[in-house]
Structure 1
Amino acid sequence: MSEPIIQLDSLSKTYKNGRGVHNISLEVRRGEVYGFFGPNGAGKTTVMKMLVGLSQADTGSARLFGYDVITHFTQAMQKTGVLIETAEAFEYMSGSANLALAARFYPELGKGRIDEVLELVGLLPYKQEKVAGYSLGMKQRLGLAAALLSKPELLILDEPTNGLDIEGMVDMRELMVSLAREQGMTFFISSHMIQEMELMCSRIGIIVEGRLVREGALNELVDGVHVASLEQLFMASVKQERGKAAHVHV
């Protein structure tokens, strides 16, 4: 069995309004495409921010490549690409210029790497256009290109298909599956596009109201709950967890 690339151990964080995440534990191994699902406000982005050191847990730990993201941030992030929430870019600059700016942090990269990642995400023909003229989907593609720039071994992506049309979603799915299979790249992905994710995820986690309620191999979870699809598994999990909460509050 391959080594764990992501390790979350009893990760918890509570905000002033009482919401947060509670005792999240999971592992993602090399070459896996791991789907992380939950309703709006369930805590997906909170977990992802703690995973990359943008937010600190109250208790528990998050490790990447065996390194704690708080105490050994540089080592943990060295082989990690990240796209969380909205892809940010300087709109008055071209797509290529934005990536050139980011590439300054990776002096070891060859001169052709920018064009290489732009071609991977389908933006090479538009590399000299200003980002202000990009559609939302094109901006997401540029964000993914930036995440791929350093040749990472792990990609952490929050809603990477946001704004993409059907063709764009298929392109992204095929790209991620190809990178996982051919290069052993590992993906931790949050998305609401359940049908697309079902086609590429080997393992999943479902978080509801801050708690991880399902976690494991996709086919085993679907068979275990006797449903026909990831969508049905997701809806059954949410309904069951909310039913428990309603019973507690009665």
Structure 2
Amino acid sequence: METVLELNGLTKMYPNRRGVENITLQVQRGDIYGFFGPNGAGKTTVMKIIAGLCRADRGQVRLFGQDAAADFVKAMGKVGVLIETADAYDYMSGYKNLELAARFYPQLPRKRIDEVLELVGLAAFKHEKVSQYSLGMKQRLGVAAAILSEPELLILDEPTNGLDIEGMVEMRELIARLAREQHITFFLSSHLITEMEQLCSRIGILYNGRLIREDFVADIVRGANPMTLENYFMEQVREERRAEVHA
């Protein structure tokens, strides 16, 4: 199995002593890896470090076997990223926004813009101004921009954040379809455990800046002692809190 994302001892501490410490994990090709935990646990910090938007104090990021610190451009060549919210120019159409993004990929065929709009379900709205888009449509446009370069790994930070129930279902179905039809590997962050249970193949739980547990979702919900991902998460958190009290 090919490792497409590898974090080794990733550490970043802010002046307020919050951050992440010694994060070590691997994402294999074909995974939909759910990285979740409470708000403020450090999920976005880790993703910003991977995407080059934040510098780690120490540790290593490897993408497709390439050390990101040694050659960041080469390491990110097969990676698409959507961190936090999807930014777009409201006064431009969805198509024009993607046309602008496509300038970063001079070898990209022009038909790719229409392909990604079709993939994310925005083909019928491509000439509408983004100011007329719902929040869910804007998130889908963000995903379209992230997959424009035909990445093999897609990093999405809270892709369902702020969406209504219909929007969350649509985003979940989109991610599943991209994994199935485009063979994209996913590294997702979320605090919405129910969404993770329905979508992910593997999960990692982040708590107070530390990765406290990794597991296969199937082993949790259909294993020897089956439980919901929500109950599993709460069990792990309670164990950590008990350990902190007795430390």
- Interval containing the TM-score (normalised by the shorter chain): over 0.9
What CA distance in whole angstroms lies between the structure 1 residues aligned with 2:221 and 2:213?
A: 10
- Mapped pair 1:234 → 2:220: no
User: 1:151 is paired with a residue of what secondary structure?
Assistant: coil
What CA distance in whole angstroms lies between the structure 1 residues aligned with 2:122 and 2:180?
A: 23
- Mapped pair 1:187 → 2:171: no
- Which stretch of the first structure deviates more once superposed, 60-69 or 15-24? 60-69
1:166 is displaced (CA, Å) by 3.0
Letter in 2 for 1:197: M
Q: Could you tell me whether the CA contact under 8 Å between 1:35 and 1:197 is conserved in 2?
A: yes
- Mapped pair 1:78 → 2:45: no
| Structure 2 residue aligned with 1:33 | 32
- Which stretch of the first structure deviates more once superposed, 107-116 or 141-150? 107-116
Letter in 2 for 1:137: G
1:183 is displaced (CA, Å) by 3.4
- Which stretch of the first structure deviates more once superposed, 215-224 or 226-235? 215-224
Q: Could you tell me whether the CA contact under 8 Å between 1:225 and 1:233 is conserved in 2?
A: no
Residues 183, 139 of structure 1: CA spacing in aligned structure 2 closer, same or farther, 3 A cutoff? closer
| Structure 2 residue aligned with 1:105 | 104
Letter in 1 for 2:129: K
What CA distance in whole angstroms lies between the structure 2 residues aligned with 1:36 and 1:86?
A: 17
| Structure 1 residue aligned with 2:51 | 52
1:165 is displaced (CA, Å) by 3.2
User: 2:39 is paired with a residue of what secondary structure?
Assistant: coil
User: 2:194 is paired with a residue of what secondary structure?
Assistant: helix
Residues 9-59 of structure 1, C-alpha deviations (whole Å, 9 max, x = no match): 011111100111111100001111000001000000011111111111111
What CA distance in whole angstroms lies between the structure 1 residues aligned with 2:170 and 2:222?
A: 29
Residues 178-233 of structure 1, C-alpha deviations (whole Å, 9 max, x = no match): 33234331000012232222122111100000010111322335577945111111
| Structure 1 residue aligned with 2:8 | 9
| Structure 1 residue aligned with 2:149 | 150
| Structure 2 residue aligned with 1:205 | 204
Q: Could you tell me whether the CA contact under 8 Å between 1:53 and 1:70 is conserved in 2?
A: no
* 1:63-142 map, 5 Å: 63-142=62-141
- Which stretch of the first structure deviates more once superposed, 127-136 or 83-92? 127-136
What CA distance in whole angstroms lies between the structure 2 residues aligned with 1:165 and 1:115?
A: 26
Letter in 1 for 2:145: A
Residues 19, 223 of structure 1: CA spacing in aligned structure 2 closer, same or farther, 3 A cutoff? farther
- Which stretch of the first structure deviates more once superposed, 6-15 or 231-240? 231-240
What CA distance in whole angstroms lies between the structure 1 residues aligned with 2:39 and 2:224?
A: 23
What are the ranges of 5 or more consecutive residues in structure 2 without an aligned counterpart? Answer: none
Q: Percent identity?
A: 63
Letter in 2 for 1:19: R
Q: Could you tell me whether the CA contact under 8 Å between 1:48 and 1:84 is conserved in 2?
A: yes
Q: Could you tell me whether the CA contact under 8 Å between 2:80 and 2:154 is conserved in 1?
A: yes
**In the comparison of the two structures, how many residue pairs are matched?**
247
What stretches of structure 1 move > 4 A for 4+ residues in a row? 221-225
- Which stretch of the first structure deviates more once superposed, 75-84 or 60-69? 60-69
| Structure 1 residue aligned with 2:245 | 246
| Structure 2 residue aligned with 1:219 | 218
Letter in 1 for 2:10: L
What are the ranges of 5 or more consecutive residues in structure 1 without an aligned counterpart? Answer: none
User: 1:104 is paired with a residue of what secondary structure?
Assistant: helix
User: 2:151 is paired with a residue of what secondary structure?
Assistant: coil
What CA distance in whole angstroms lies between the structure 2 residues aligned with 1:90 and 1:71?
A: 33
What CA distance in whole angstroms lies between the structure 2 residues aligned with 1:221 and 1:214?
A: 12
What CA distance in whole angstroms lies between the structure 2 residues aligned with 1:88 and 1:33?
A: 24
Q: CA RMSD in A?
A: 1.8
Residues 110-131 of structure 1, C-alpha deviations (whole Å, 9 max, x = no match): 2221121112112122211211
